Amino acid sequence: MSLSKLEPAKGSLFSKKRIGRGNASGQGRTAGKGHNGYKSRSGSSKRFYFEGGQTPLMRRLPKRGFSNHLFKNSFQIVNLESLNEIKSKKIDNSTLFEHGLIKKLNLPVKVLSRGNIDKAIEISANSFSKPAIDKIEKSGGKAIFI
C-alpha cells in the first residue's frame, strides 16, 4: 500500500448536484436550470406523449374502423364441463348464479361445448353453441332458449 493508491471510502464523497443552494454551490444564481422557461420551474415534468405543442401523433393518425359498443351483445360464458358439477336436473340463470358460474343475473348466458356432459339435464339459457346442443341432446337432456 502506498500513498498514491489511497482512495476515499465508497459512498463518502457526495457527487450529486445540490440544485438551488446559493452561489457557493457551484451552480450559482439559476442553479443550472437556465433562465425562466418551463423546465426551470419546480414540479415541471412533461408527459411522455407531449410533443411541444405540435399536434400529438394520436390526433394526426387517421381513425379507422367502427366501434359498436352501445349495441354490443356480451354474453356470460358457461361450459358443459362446469354444468356437470351441478346436481339439479333443471338449470337456469339463478341456479348458475348460486353456484358461482355467472356473476350477474341480468346479463345473457351462452352455453359452450367444452367438456362432456354425463347426465340428462334441462338447461335454460339465452344462447347455445351448436355442438353444445348436440352434446346435451345426446346425453338425453334439453336445451331451452329463453
Output the pLDDT for position 125.
94
Given a cut of 90, whether residue 26 has pLDDT beyond it is: no
| Band (104; pLDDT cuts 50, 70, 90) | very high
| Band (85; pLDDT cuts 50, 70, 90) | confident
Cα distance between residue 43 and residue 53, in whole Å: 19
Residue extents of the structural domains in the chain: 76-145
Output the pLDDT for position 122.
93
* Assigned C-alpha cell, 78: 358457461
Share of the chain above pLDDT 70, in %: 100
Residue type at 71 in one-letter notation:
F
Domain 76-145, CATH: 3.100.10.10
Cα distance between residue 58 and residue 75, in whole Å: 32
Average pLDDT of the residues in 55-83:
91
Quick: pLDDT tens for 105-115: 999 999 999 99
Output the pLDDT for position 134.
94
Given a cut of 80, whether residue 14 has pLDDT beyond it is: no
Mean pLDDT of the chain: 89
Q: What is the DSSP letter of 30?
A: H
Q: Is the pTM of this model over 0.75?
A: no
Output the pLDDT for position 21.
84
